Amino acid sequence: MEYKLKSQTDLVADTFPAGPGSDIESKLHYLLNALECMDKRTAIELERLEGSGAEDDLKDFVKQDILSRAQELRLPLQEAAEELRSLYRASFPGEGG
């Protein structure tokens, strides 16, 4: 599983659009925006679930499924963002990662 997640992280790092300014900074902003959108989408799904008329047991089951799926999709992006953040900080003279 760890190998798969690492491979996904490497694939994600190769799919960033080129942008003005620092390449690392552009990739980092892209990832952070993607993570923010994922979090908002997950929050909306959870709000819809809470507002539904479903039974509490079903809501709990679906909530766990939503959170599990979100975490599975989010983890490779989060790892890539952490790696890029370290590279970005290291690119400034006199600062460590």
Beta carbons of 49 and 63 less than 8 angstroms apart: yes
* Runs of H (alpha helix) within 14-55: 23-51
Query: How far is Cα 67 from Cα 73, in angstroms, rounded to an integer?
Result: 10
So where are the chain's domains?
A: 21-89
pTM comes to 0.69
Contact assessment for residue 41 and residue 54, using Cβ atoms and an 8 Å cutoff: no
**pLDDT one digit per residue (tens) for the chain, 97 residues:** 343 444 455 555 555 544 444 788 899 999 999 999 999 999 999 999 999 999 999 999 999 999 999 999 999 999 999 999 998 888 877 655 4
